Structure 1
Amino acid sequence: MNGVLYKVRESFSTVKPAEKVVADYILHHPENVVSMSIQQVAAESFSSPSAVLRFCKTLGFGGFKDFKLKLAGDLSILNMHDMDKHELKPGDSLTNIMTVVTNNNIQSLTESLQLLDIEQLTKAFHYLVNAKKIDLYGVGSSYLIASDAVQKFMRINKPCTAYSDFHMQRVSAVNLEAEDVAVAISYSGATKQVIECIQIAKSQGAKVIAVTKYADTELSSLADAVLFVAANEDDFRSAAMSSRMATLNVIDILYTACAHEEYDDALFHLKRTHEIIQQSGEKGGTTQS
């Protein structure tokens, strides 16, 4: 998986002007690029072959041929999920809102799957399986994702914490040890509170997993394992809709991998937690949702 077009789109804010025109041409003519030479792309984008080559290497590809090969693979996957990509406008029907929001979420999941590096995912999964304790950090909607992770991992007997209060997050981080894992959830990769907690966790020897957007951020540079997610947000970005869905999916992947690694033990604890919750419901408590 490579997420080529997503990487091209996200590169706009970081690449040099000479490479930005290459990125713009690729985004608008991806199908043409896979059958073009490096000289043709340079001519059509009003750049130079060296700028095209530099751009490909900036994105982490071995060269232009490697870039084209990965781009062709991504296009075949995207064509399998051909969706309506219209943006919402004031006055749109509820039917259109339903379709566009759903398709944006599906597209984010598909692009995030392409961005996930199997080596990084394997590393993160092993950290969690062997963790004595898992501490999760997030602010706002990212905290809700951290809280969701806690209720999942606790049910398979993996000790977890996630605090909404920043002071408690710092207290929790300073009490981590080398056998523990800190999971940072921040789409921007620049959330000050999360970064501060991760710095504290690293100073205590804990391993760090970051779930964030594809970019060279302070958070990704601090992490021992980085899991990138993609998002297609509209003007209502503050709701963090598609990025939340993509991040929840990564958490589900990690949880499922850990549960299957210790299958019998995880199944035992899942059955036991289910039974105790059912018992509380029979006694008039809150039942399982």
Structure 2
Amino acid sequence: MAESTFWKERVRRGYASLRPSEQHVADYMLEHMEELKKLTIGALADRAQVSEPTVIRCVRGLGFTGYRAFKRALNGFLDEEKEILQVFDPLSGFSLRSWDKIEDLPLKTVHIETMLLEQALKGIVVKNLEQAVTYLANARMIDIYSVENSCTPASDILTKLTYLGLNCRMHTDAYLQQIAAAHLTKEDVAVAFSHSGCSADTVKALKLAHRSGAVTIAVSGRQNPVMKKYADIFLCAGGTECSIYGNAIFSKTSEMAVVDMLYMGIILSNYKRFSRNLDRSGAVIADREYTEI
């Protein structure tokens, strides 16, 4: 039973990377895992109502070199199984294989980003979002902290808040972020972005802002990150790690969604004020559009 559960989990993890016809094969595998050890490729194709080439593409999509390798792994040939599994799941959360084609990437990428956005939707606490909006809309100064990949959502909120006419800043140097945080007051708001929630420089900056008396807001992709300890308001942007060789390339997806929630929430908090500010900001750069001479 444990072995069957193991292989079902392996099939499920590779399921999203398969084409619809290949998913028919995977569906049959999940429902009849115990039978697979005895089935020939032709028998599996018949029962899944697909062609034999589709079965081959399916097992290759799951990380095996072919149907024979898949069967050998199922039947417990451990040496080959270990070798196969190294190929099967070299990444965390994203099924990118060496034999994938460029045309496979749009579906793979959109699928994982959709999943992350759905998780962000489930993770957001509306009460916390409302509090964050209120403090941001009325802050004397908004200080923004981030490093590495999290600079993307941090830079985005800096741009959006500036367009809204709010006084905000973001130092790209981590030391300057911490120095700035130490000089905040109770009239200010600090916003920290960290997918892991434990980036040392970001956590330290938020901690200093908290000690200074500023309202602190933490945005993270994890449910209980370290920096939550120093946050008056916590916004969870997900819950699933999705990385390629340690690089959380999709971390910005859900965090950018949280930025947009905050942005639209601020506009709604005083629609007349902020729509007017947006018009004013737009007018300032209206003449910057490129035109052919």
Shorter-chain TM band: 0.5 to 0.7
Match of 1:273 among 261, 277, 281: 281
- Number of aligned residue pairs: give it: 204
> Following the alignment from structure 1 to structure 2, what is the Cα–Cα distance between the partners of residues 232 and 90?
21
Alignment match, 2:225: 217
Note the C-alpha offset of 1:128. Answer: 1.1
Query: What amino acid is aligned across from residue 168 of structure 1 in structure 2?
Result: L
Q: How does 1:134-153 map to 2 (within 5 A)?
A: 134-153=142-161
RMSD: 2.5
Unaligned ranges ≥5, structure 1? 1-20, 29-84, 285-289
1:191 corresponds, among 169, 176, 199, to 199
Instruction: Give the drift of 1:172.
Output: 1.5
8 A contact 1:143–1:162 mirrored in 2: no
| One of 233, 237, 258 as aligned partner of 2:242 | 233
Q: What is the TM-score normalised by the length of structure 2?
A: 0.64
Q: Secondary structure at the match of 2:164?
A: coil
> Which residue number in structure 1 is paired with residue 125 of structure 2?
117
Identity of aligned residues (%): 25
| Structure 2: gaps spanning 5 or more residues | 10-92
Q: In the alignment, does 2:208 pair up with 1:200?
A: yes
Rounded Cα–Cα distance in structure 2 between residues aligned with 1:161 and 1:281: 26
> What's the secondary structure of 1:210's corresponding residue?
strand
Cα gap change, 1:233 to 1:133, in 2 (>3 Å): same
Deviation at 1:215, TM superposition (A): 3.2
Quote how far apart the aligned CAs of 1:265 are.
1.1
- Per the alignment, residue 86 of structure 2 pairs with none
Secondary structure of 1:176's match? coil
Aligned to 1:165: 173
Distance 1:90 1:184 in 2: 36
Task: Mark the CA change 1:164 to 1:203 in structure 2 (over 3 Å): closer, same or farther.
Answer: same
User: Any idea what SS the aligned residue of 2:98 has?
Assistant: coil
Q: Could you tell me which residue of structure 2 aligns to residue 51 of structure 1?
A: none
Q: Output one character per residue of 1:45-68: Cα deviation in whole Å (capped at 9) or x when no partner.
A: xxxxxxxxxxxxxxxxxxxxxxxx
TM-score, normalised to structure 1, is: 0.65
**CA separation of 1:221 and 1:263: change in aligned 2, threshold 3 A:** same
| Contact 2:190–2:214 under 8 Å retained in 1 | yes
Distance 1:201 1:98 in 2: 41
Aligned to 1:82: none
Q: Between Structure 1 and Structure 2, whose CA radius of gyration is higher?
A: 2
Q: CA deviation at 1:93?
A: 1.0
Matched, 1:178 2:186: yes
Q: Following the alignment from structure 1 to structure 2, what is the Cα–Cα distance between the partners of residues 129 and 236? A: 39
Q: Which residue of 2 aligns with 1:102?
A: 110
Q: Is the 8 Å Cα contact of residues 184 and 209 (structure 1) preserved in structure 2?
A: yes
- Equivalent AA in structure 2 for residue 161 of structure 1: R
Q: Report SS of the residue matched to 1:190.
A: coil
After TM superposition, give the deviation of residue 144 of structure 1 in Å. Answer: 2.4
Could you tell me how far 1:87 is from its partner in structure 2?
Answer: 1.6
> Can you list the C-alpha shifts for 1:149-170, whole angstroms capped at 9, x where unaligned?
1110011111111111112212
Does the aligned pair in 2 maintain the 1:108–1:232 contact within 8 Å?
A: no
